[in-house]
Amino acid sequence: MILFRIRWLPAVILTFLVLTISDAWAQDKKVEPEAERYKWFLTAYAGAHAQDDFQDVITFQPTFEDNAYVGVVALAREIWHYKHYLSFELEGQIGKHFNADTHWEFVGLIIGRWHHFPWDQYIDTSLAIGDGFSYYTDVSNVETEDDEDAKRALNYLLVEVALGLPKYPRWDLVFRIHHRSSVFGLVGAGGSNFVCAGIKFGF
């Protein structure tokens, strides 16, 4: 059953993206006024460590067993956008780990964000994927359990879904996957996944 879900997931995602982009093209004349856009975003979120692989997390099959948590404050700046469909941001994060780990985390990354979804008039939605660099101030006990050669510096990957009410455009509820990895051994060793939720404010 799990293998079936994983095999069909790319096809489902591709079909959804094709339908969404087609709808965006159909409404291409409805350009968002520049005055309504916010360029800066402050996000505060927290989450728990998920012990499974990244593919288990994105297919909604994580497990939470080691009592490890992270709290993060992030500041982002939009650097480019195409109408009200696509944008890119630079983001910096400061995180604090709790319980199983007690170190600090510093992250810098670039984020690509898709803004247009057919239901935006009811729930304003955006989907973001980001990649960058994560540095721990100490070697993680959690990551060492999976890889005894775990390093402080690793590649960082973010996946985010932001949901907001059109009536309150400054505020969003965000769900993030906060992921560190060695990119198959290219950058250091070790890795972790945190499943997080928080609040975003645009200004």
Tell me the average confidence (pLDDT) per consecutive run of 10 residues in the chain, 203 residues long.
43 49 52 66 97 80 89 98 95 97 98 97 98 97 91 97 97 98 84 97 98
Q: 């990354």: which residue's tokens?
A: 109
Q: Which domain holds residue 160?
A: 39-202
CATH number reported for the structural domain that contains residue 175 in this entry: 2.40.160.20
- Rounded CA-CA distance 172/166 in Å is 10
Does residue 29 lie in a domain region? no
pTM: 0.82
**Looking at the 3D structure of the chain, how many domains does it have?**
1
What's the token pair of residue 20?
């969404």
- Give the per-residue pLDDT at 186: 82
Does residue 98 lie in a domain region? yes
Does residue 74 lie in a domain region? yes
Q: Answer for the pair 117, 143: CB distance below 8 angstroms, yes or no.
A: no
